[in-house]
Structure 1
Amino acid sequence: MYDTYDEEHENVARLNKTQQKREIAELHDLAKSLSRLDAVALEKMDLPKELFQALIDVQSMKHGAEKRQFKFIVKLLRQIETESFMETIAELDAKKSEQDKNFHRTERWRDRLISEGHDALTEFMGLYPLADSGQIRQLVRNANKEALENKPHKSSRALFRLLRDIICQ
């Protein structure tokens, strides 16, 4: 990873120190990202045993030990090809971002439907024509009634689940 072979001159050229530091920083970021994954996700990535165990161990460590453990993980990462791990992390981040976006979109629609009523429902049905407007209307009425009576927000949660299913189809 750090040494490159020059065929013309038959010598080994070392990367400059700045480039080495940049690569180590990238590996450290990768190690941090990998450490946030649960054991099941790490098992699916087909990591070497020692690296897998180091990542599991770091999840329960305090600051000083965690810092040393990350140095050890970076050392292990320097010995293997990491491109596939970086791609997997990027895919997971993209998937999480999409889930967050859908969650917030659903929340906004629920809040609009409850506060604006008929106008928001008309707009929602224009975007999602297969949705059951009667069921949505009933849940909106119940949610407003529960809010006025200071009851638990059962209908609001049910409306959120229904909207999530419609939006995330």
Structure 2
Amino acid sequence: MTHEIPQSPDELPDNVYDGPSKSQVKRDMLALLDLGKELVDLSPERLKQLPLSERLYEAIRLAQRTTSREGLRRQVHYVGKLMRDAQSDEIRTQLDTWKNGSREQTQTMHRLETLRDRLLKDDGALTTLLEKYPQADVQHLRSLIREGRKEVTANQALRPGQEPQRKHYRALFQALKSLQDSETQDSDTTA
């Protein structure tokens, strides 16, 4: 028994997938247009870091130089059209990283903030920190913790509208970040 291949769309069975709907295609095109608009807002330095074709890069640069409202609208639509052939997933990933930082960076910042808060509340936290980072400048850390605690106490006594002091609070965070960065560099050079 041989099966005949349907010759016209009318002869196709109902359960055959024949591609995305018109609505989905339109949503995809609008998403590429929005991505193109984001690219037009980037600096030339950032644009050079993205996987853009020369033609797309030049179209974006022209849109950035266009002052006429209607001309800009048309140029942005042209950029959106060129985005169909671009590596849009890689571009979106990079833009997301620039906007939000990577998840690892965010988690690292939260860990450092938690460690800083622990150091300001608990003397035992410094001992634990020094076990992990024996190369740390103990005197400098103790000084920052002591001054940070003074700032916290002074900030609790502020009246509404007064600016809290955070100089040593921030300096302690930076010292912790430097410790972690130096450990990361040391592990990279030994690997």
Query: Shorter chain as normaliser: what TM range?
Result: 0.5 to 0.7
CA pair 105-163 structure 1, distance change in 2 beyond 3 A = same
Determine helix, strand or coil for the equivalent of 1:146.
Answer: helix
For residues 92 and 125 of structure 1, do their structure 2 counterparts lie closer, same or farther at Cα, with a shift above 3 Å needed? farther
Give the superposition deviation at 1:57.
5.6
- Cα distance in structure 1, aligned partners of 2:92 and 2:83: 14
Counterparts of residues 15-164 of structure 1 (less than 5 Å): 16-35=21-40, 37-45=42-50, 46-47=52-53, 48=55, 49-54=58-63, 56=64, 70-78=76-84, 81-83=85-87, 85-94=88-97, 96-97=101-102, 98-114=104-120, 116-126=121-131, 128-130=132-134, 132=136, 134=138, 135-149=140-154, 152-164=165-177
SS in 1 for 2:42: coil
TM-score, with length taken from structure 2: 0.58
C-alpha separation in 1, matches of 2:113 and 2:152: 16
Offset of residue 74 of structure 1: 1.4
Structure 2 counterpart of 1:20, one-letter code = V
Shift of 1:51: 2.3
Give the direction of change, closer, same or farther, for the CA distance of 1:165–1:88 in structure 2 (3 Å limit): farther
- 2:75, 2:124 → 1: CA distance? 56
Identity rate, percent: 30
Q: Comparing both structures, which one devotes a greater share of its residues to strand?
A: 1
User: Unaligned stretches of 5+ in structure 1?
Assistant: 1-7
Distance in 2 (alpha carbons) for counterparts of 1:147 and 1:123: 22
Which AA in structure 1 matches 2:32? L
Q: Which amino acid aligns with 2:59?
A: E
Aligned length: 153
Query: CA contact under 8 A between 1:110 and 1:160: conserved in structure 2?
Result: yes
In structure 1, C-alpha distance between the alignment counterparts of 2:42 and 2:61, rounded to whole Å = 11
Deviation at 1:29, TM superposition (A): 4.4
Match of residue 5 from structure 1: none
CA distance in 1, matches of 2:68, 2:145: 47
Q: How far apart are the structure 1 equivalents of 2:97 and 2:170?
A: 26
RMSD: 4.0
2:59 touches 2:79 (CA, 8 Å); kept in 1? no
* 1:34/1:89 contact within 8 Å kept: no
Structure 2 unaligned regions, length at least 5: 7-17, 156-163, 185-191
Letter in 2 for 1:53: L
CA deviation string 1:43-63 (max 9, x = no partner):
333453122332x369x999x
SS in 1 for 2:82: helix
